[in-house]
Amino acid sequence: MLTVWDGGRNTDQYAAPDAADWQRIVQQVIQTQKVVVENNNIYSNVAEEDILSGQPLILESGIRLAGTQNYSEIIGISINDCKIIEDCIYITQGRLELEDWSNVVNTVELLPGARYFLSMEEKGKLTTVAPSASGDTVVQVGCAQSKEILSVNIESPVYLT
Position 50 pLDDT exceeds 90: yes
**pLDDT > 90 in the chain, percent:** 50
Position 128 pLDDT exceeds 90: yes
Q: Which residues fall within 8 angstroms of residue 31, CB to CB, at 6 or more apart?
A: none
- pLDDT value, residue 12: 54
Element at 3 (helix H, strand E): none
Average pLDDT over residues 48-57: 95
Domain boundaries, the chain: 19-159
The dihedrals phi and psi of 67, each to the nearest 5 degrees, come to: -145, -160
Q: pTM for the complete prediction?
A: 0.76
- pLDDT value, residue 72: 58
DSSP state of 21: H
Query: Which of 18-32, 83-97, 120-134 is least confident?
Result: 18-32
Going by pLDDT thresholds of 50, 70 and 90, the confidence category of residue 6 is very low
Handedness of CA 65, 71, 74, 79 (dihedral sign): positive
Average pLDDT over residues 14-26: 68
The model's pLDDT over 67-121, given as tens digits with 9 standing for 90+, comes to: 766 555 899 999 999 999 998 999 999 999 999 999 999 999 999 999 999 998 8
Cβ atoms of 21 and 9 within 8 Å: the answer is: no
Position 141 pLDDT exceeds 90: yes
Average pLDDT, the chain: 82
The dihedrals phi and psi of 97, each to the nearest 5 degrees, come to: -110, 125
Pairwise CA distance, residues 30 & 35, whole Å: 9
